[in-house]
């Protein structure tokens, strides 16, 4: 495995100082990607554009110009971000060959500070899954054990960070898609408050829960990249005001109060996962935090609500793939209707079709009130219960997912795969920030993640706690 | 519990513009029935006058000035991804048979 990267802040400073070049960093990243090919974390590399951008940055340095806070730092974007220099496929056959006519806002913000995208990472097609097995192209392997999944849907991004292919990677998180793979691969995975980072230029999945995720090997790297990307964007009207400087974290927030979510430690949680979470709780108590069990009574309903709301939004968002304006188009159709049907039939994978039909069902006349509206009301209930919990506690904690990384091919049944999201969907439904931090390993040396949650718009406080926890648990 | 029939699946496929093979129809019939069986638990929830939530951060009516802003998108770049173009227009199949 490639060696660890220096902290991002040091890499950028050394590039600016001329003691490292952006060209060297890009080269190193591309070499690491080539050496780790067996893991299949990467769909495409962007060498020409990356080298060109590195050359520009190195020339600026020579001329004594400022190059930005991420000068020359390579990164990898999940392949559902529109990025110049390679196709954007969302790991789907229907978008094969699609080249971005513009870039995602967050990519532009990273580039403005000198960061360089070197590759696009694998995912469950369109973000639909928890293992990358739903990629229409290939399955990514877990860096700790090649017979296991890396989690998903940002499995390629998580594996890439743990394999040290780049200092940071972008994912997305609509129901756990950055936190769960971070937990399976052993890195940090973060879902912000809904709206904190712009989704303009990202392939839409479920618009009321879609967020940009960040995956790194440590919290300081994460906070710096968040600081570059966060904030309002006129191209995404759901964006919210940001907090000031995310790099200036308050790590020790004792005597803050932490609620340990009772429903997430009940039956069905792997014993090693439970043991590591309990160990983390003891460590937190040891340094002066108050940690108490808290019950959020509607939590057991969150997965059912999620699997109504999200397919509904997916069926609507995926209606744009009609074979006419972009993406795969069936050429032998006799009329427009047949062109739609055949393009979608051949272009979409099994899970996309499953979710489209599920969404179509819950939105259809006669079922809308019974399913979709009911799920939106459960969402109201969950929001009110989380608000109550956050009146008593500054943070909530629990596991990220019931198990560690499972064997490739183990979850043939779609419902079994959905169950992997049981502890991550609640933060997505209520819109609060949540992060997965490494918390030891199970008896097979597979990573376990600790999930930390904070109220909406308290991302900075959450990252401060995560930074402290990261140090306490290492 | 909702148990989908073959006709239900065909109707959904038609609404969603998907053309399914016989094998897929049966597969989705049983899988969607199982998923609907799981989400059925929402039916038992006491909703006691609660209203549905669509937007979680409380934003409403985000307005902007009615002005043309150049974000750098070029129409010809957008057309590069179109499967069938004629004279800078998107060409589609016959609509009326």
Q: Which residues of B touch A413 (CB under 8 A)?
A: 34
CB pair distance less than 8 Å for A101 and B78: yes
Take residue A323 and report the two structure tokens written for it.
Answer: 């074979």
pLDDT at position A194 is 98
What's the 3-state SS for A30-61? HHHHHHCHHHCCEEEECHHHHHHHHHHHHHHH
Closest-CA residue of chain B to A232: B62
* CB-CB neighbors (< 8 A) of A378 in chain B: 42, 45
Q: Are A313 and A376 in contact (CB under 8 A)?
A: no
Burial class (CB in 10 A: 0-12, 13-18, 19+), B15: middle
More reliable by pLDDT, A394 or B3: A394
Distance in angstroms (rounded) separating the CA atoms of residues A118 and A51: 9
Judged against a pLDDT cut of 80, whether residue B2 lies above it is answered with no
The ipTM, to two decimals, is 0.96
What residues of B are in contact with residue A326 (Cβ under 8 Å)?
A: 81-83
From the list A139, A136, A138, A204, the residue with the least C-alpha distance to A346 is: A136
Measured CA to CA, the distance from residue A419 to residue B51 in angstroms comes to: 27
Q: What is the DSSP letter of A265?
A: G
Strands A447-453 and A395-399: antiparallel
Average pLDDT of chain A to the nearest whole number: 97
Q: Give which of A352, A360, A441, A408 is closest to A40, Cα–Cα.
A: A408
Confidence of residue A229 (pLDDT cuts 50, 70, 90): very high
- Neighbouring CB atoms inside 10 A of B7's CB total 10
Angle between helices A459-473 and A219-229 (to 10 degrees): 160
Q: Choose among A208, A331, A334: nearest Cβ to B54.
A: A208
Chain A, 86 to 115: residues with Cβ < 8 Å from chain B are: 97-99, 101-102
User: What digits encode the pLDDT tens for the residues A141-155?
Assistant: 999 999 999 999 999
Contact B57 A240 (CB under 8 A): yes
**B52: chain A residues, CB-CB within 8 Å:** 373, 376-377, 379-380
pLDDT at B42: 95
B50/A377 touch (CB, cutoff 8 Å), yes or no = yes
Whether residue B1 is predicted with pLDDT greater than 80 in this model: the reply is no
Q: How many CB atoms lie within 10 A of CB B58?
A: 9
Give me the domains of chain A, ranges plus CATH numbers.
8-229 (3.90.1300.10)
**pLDDT at A238 exceeding the cut of 90:** yes
Backbone angles phi, psi at A402, to 5 degrees: -65, -25
A430 touches chain B (CB under 8 A): yes
Q: Give the gap in angstroms from C-alpha B81 to the nearest C-alpha of chain A.
A: 5
Site of tokens 């047949």: A338
* A336 contacts chain B (CB < 8 A): yes
Rounded to whole angstroms, the Cα distance separating A27 from B46 reads: 59
| H/E segment holding residue A330 | none
Q: Does A147 touch chain B (CB under 8 A)?
A: no
B92 and A CB contact within 8 Å: yes
Q: What confidence score (pLDDT) does residue B48 get?
A: 84
Reported as a pLDDT band with limits 50, 70 and 90, residue B97 is low
Residues of A assigned a catalytic role: 78, 153, 177
CB contact (8 A) between residue A378 and residue B45: yes
- Give me the sheet containing A74-78, strands edge to edge: A42-45, A116-121, A74-78, A168-173, A211-216, A188-191, A434-441, A447-453, A395-399, A257-261, A290-294
Q: Least CB-CB distance to B64: which of A195, A234, A383?
A: A234
Per-residue burial over A396-426, b = 16 or more CB atoms within 10 Å of its CB, e = otherwise: bbbbbbbbbbbebeebeebeebbbbbbbbbb
Distance from the A61 Cα atom to the nearest Cα atom in chain B, whole angstroms: 28
pLDDT digits (tens, 9 = 90+) for A14-30: 999 999 999 999 999 99
d(CA A53, CA A116): 7
Check if B19 contacts A (Cβ < 8 Å).
yes
- Tens of pLDDT along A322-349? 999 999 999 999 999 999 999 999 999 9
Asked if B42 lies within 8 A of A304 by C-beta distance, the reply is yes
pLDDT at B77: 87
Residue B16 has pLDDT above 90, yes or no: yes
Query: Which CATH architecture fits B6-44?
Result: Orthogonal Bundle (1.10)
Asked if the C-beta of B70 comes within 8 angstroms of chain A's C-beta atoms, the answer is: no
- Find the length of chain B: 97
Residues A157-176: what's their mean pLDDT? 98
d(CA A339, CA A331): 8
Among candidates B16, B53, B74 on the partner chain, residue whose Cβ is nearest the Cβ of A379? B53
């Amino acid at each position: 495995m490639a060696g660890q990267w220096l902290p991002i802040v040091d890499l950028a400073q050394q590039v600016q100082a001329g003691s490292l070049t952006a060209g060297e960093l890009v080269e190193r990243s591309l070499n690491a990607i080539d050496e780790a090919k067996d893991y299949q974390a990467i769909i495409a590399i962007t060498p020409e554009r990356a080298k060109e951008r590195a050359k520009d940055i190195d020339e600026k340095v020579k001329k004594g110009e400022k190059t930005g806070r991420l000068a020359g730092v390579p990164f990898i974007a999940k392949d559902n971000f529109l990025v110049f220099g390679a196709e954007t496929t969302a790991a789907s056959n229907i978008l094969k060959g699609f080249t971005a006519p513009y870039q995602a806002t967050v990519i532009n913000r990273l580039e403005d500070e000198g960061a360089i995208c070197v590759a696009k990472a694998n995912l469950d097609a369109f973000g639909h899954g928890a293992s990358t097995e739903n990629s229409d192209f290939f399955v990514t392997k877990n860096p700790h054990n090649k017979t296991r999944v890396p989690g998903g849907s940002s499995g390629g991004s998580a594996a890439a960070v743990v394999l040290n292919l780049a200092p940071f990677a972008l994912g997305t998180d609509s129901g756990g898609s950055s936190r769960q793979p971070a937990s399976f691969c052993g890195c940090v995975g973060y879902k912000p408050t809904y709206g904190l980072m712009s989704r303009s230029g990202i392939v839409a999945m479920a618009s009321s829960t879609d967020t940009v995720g960040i995956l790194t090997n440590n919290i300081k790297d994460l906070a710096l990249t968040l600081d570059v990307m966060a904030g309002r964007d006129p191209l995404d009207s759901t964006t919210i005001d940001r907090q000031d400087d995310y790099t200036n974290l308050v790590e020790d927030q004792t005597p803050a109060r932490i609620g340990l979510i009772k429903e997430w430690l009940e039956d069905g949680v792997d014993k090693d996962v439970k043991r590591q979470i309990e160990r983390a709780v003891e460590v937190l108590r040891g340094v002066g935090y108050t940690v108490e069990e808290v019950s959020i009574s509607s939590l057991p309903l969150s997965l059912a609500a999620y699997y109504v709301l999200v397919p509904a939004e997916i069926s609507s968002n995926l209606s744009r793939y009609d074979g006419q304006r972009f993406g795969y188009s069936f050429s032998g159709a006799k009329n427009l209707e047949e062109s739609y049907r055949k393009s979608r039939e051949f272009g979409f994978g099994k899970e996309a079709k499953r979710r489209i039909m599920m969404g179509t069902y819950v939105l259809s006349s006669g079922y809308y009130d019974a399913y979709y509206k009911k799920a939106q009301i459960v969402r109201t209930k969950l929001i009110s219960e989380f608000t109550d919990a956050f009146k008593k506690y500054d943070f909530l904690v629990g596991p990220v997912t019931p198990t560690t990384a499972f064997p490739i091919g183990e979850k043939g049944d779609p419902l079994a795969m959905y169950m992997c999201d049981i502890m991550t969907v609640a933060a997505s439904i209520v819109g609060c920030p949540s992060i997965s931090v490494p918390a030891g390993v199970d008896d097979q040396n597979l990573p376990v993640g600790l999930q930390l949650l904070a109220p909406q718009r308290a991302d900075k406080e959450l990252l401060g706690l995560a930074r402290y926890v990261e140090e306490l648990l290492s | 519990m909702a148990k989908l029939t073959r006709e239900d699946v065909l109707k959904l496929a038609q609404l969603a513009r998907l053309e399914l093979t016989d094998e897929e129809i049966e597969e989705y019939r049983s899988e969607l029935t199982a998923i609907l069986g799981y989400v059925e638990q929402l039916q038992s929830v006491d909703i006691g006058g609660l209203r549905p939530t669509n937007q979680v951060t409380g934003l409403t009516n985000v307005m902007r000035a009615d002005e043309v802003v150049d974000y750098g998108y070029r129409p010809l770049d957008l057309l590069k991804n179109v499967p069938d173009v004629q004279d800078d227009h998107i060409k589609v199949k016959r609509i009326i048979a």
